[in-house]
Amino acid sequence: MKVYRFIIKAYPSDRHPKLHRWQKATLVLFIFDSNPHKAEVKALNLLTEQCWVPESFELRDALIRDAVEAEGGNVWDAYLQAEKQGIFWMEVLDSLPLYKKGDVLWGTGPKLTENFIDQLITESGGHRVTAEEAGNFLEKNADYILDQYVLELKHFENEGLTVVSRQEKIGQLFKQYLSNGPVHKIDPYRLSDEDFNQYWEIVGVPIQKRIKAASKQVKATLSRLGQDKYEGGVILLNTGYLSVPHDFLVAMAERYAEKDTSSIKKLIVISSWTITDGFDTVVNYAFHPSHPQCGYLLQLRDTFWITVDKLMTQMLNGEMAPESEMQEPMSPIYFNHEGEAFTFGVPPLESSLDLQKK
């Protein structure tokens, strides 16, 4: 019998009674068992019991009793506890635990909605498609007219990697890129060029579907208003499909608009996402194109940033309800495929406490 040590980066699961899913921690487990495989299984089972989801195994080793005794201190105490009770467990949050589960989060940034886009279009000199322009709405139409542009809004509100069928395809794709351990990070930049393109096709399905749907709606409106007077476009608002970064979404949307449509000539992509560890919070917004050539799109871009600044000021002044008007922080994604565990984690934050030390 030996004591096996595991140091694991992990997130709270949905069932954790005290912590939010994004409150990452370092877990230290000492397991007393006869072989490393059985000890690892015990460690994973214990994580499940304690409502944690592993992201990665930072260390797995077998401890030598004489060496640990010579070192003494906390490690020796933990070793003795594992020998006596079978298990030693310690969890340390990676940031100060200012928020517990059930607490109302504040400062996570204004939530962008369809009403927000309505406001941008109106203040940029455009309007919602009228009943006359839409043929009394007898069929699906585009949403907006902005000068010579007919624009359709498509909103990504949900995380695409939570779809089971998509998880199965990604798990199959990453089977040849498994890391050393029972948990594997989904990192598309580890893939070969061919597999990266396959990953692109898997995660791009919702984007491609929305581009195609937008094209039909824009084409219907253009046919009534006159294609010689107007140009079609789409506004993609991404507040939920956060495993697809903004630049990645722009590239995918441009490809599908060119490949699959004839009516989408202009592409506007707006993304918002918040990363927090409960102590430090970074709120992010992005607008594409960053340097529009058309005056009306330039006005739309400038109005976007002015409006975001106003909303941020309202939030800081306490004029915004955290429960309904602020966006949810990014959370990790975790799933199993054919006995292997896969995670898509939250990008790390550099602690403000660490920055002060520099």
Instruction: Work out the mean pLDDT of the chain and round it to a whole number.
Output: 92
Cβ–Cβ under 8 Å, residues 60 and 4: yes
DSSP symbols for 117-179: HHHHHHHTT-EEPPTTTTGGGSS---SEEETTEEEEEEEE-S-GGG-HHHHHHHHHHGGGG--
Cα distance between residue 304 and residue 175, in whole Å: 42
Task: Specify the residue for token string 């094209």.
Answer: 215
Tell whether the model's pLDDT for residue 356 goes beyond 70. Answer: no
Give the pLDDT mean for 140-148: 93
Report the percentage of the chain scoring pLDDT > 90: 79
Provide the token pair at 352. Answer: 């403000």
Q: How many CB atoms lie within 10 A of CB 294?
A: 15
Cα distance between residue 105 and residue 278, in whole Å: 9
Question: What Cα–Cα distance (Å) separates residue 129 from each residue in 13, 123, 135, 218?
Answer: 44, 15, 10, 11
Tell whether the model's pLDDT for residue 10 goes beyond 50. Answer: yes
Cα distance between residue 22 and residue 12, in whole Å: 7
Longest dimension (CA), the chain: 85
Q: Return the pLDDT at 350.
A: 67
The tens digit of pLDDT for each residue in 49-97 reads: 999 999 989 999 999 999 999 999 999 999 999 999 999 999 999 887 7
pTM of the model: 0.90
Question: What Cα–Cα distance (Å) separates residue 184 from each residue in 5, 161, 172, 180?
Answer: 19, 15, 12, 8
Cβ–Cβ under 8 Å, residues 151 and 114: no
Provide the token pair at 170. Answer: 């990604």
Cα distance between residue 104 and residue 322, in whole Å: 7
Provide the token pair at 68. Answer: 């640990």
Mean pLDDT is lowest, of 4-8, 98-102, 300-304, for 98-102
Cα distance between residue 10 and residue 23, in whole Å: 9
Which domains occur in the chain, in start order?
2-103 (3.10.510), 114-325 (no CATH)
Q: 357: pLDDT confidence band, cut at 50, 70 and 90?
A: very low
Cβ–Cβ under 8 Å, residues 276 and 22: yes
Sheet holding 87-93, edge to edge: 52-62, 2-12, 25-33, 87-93
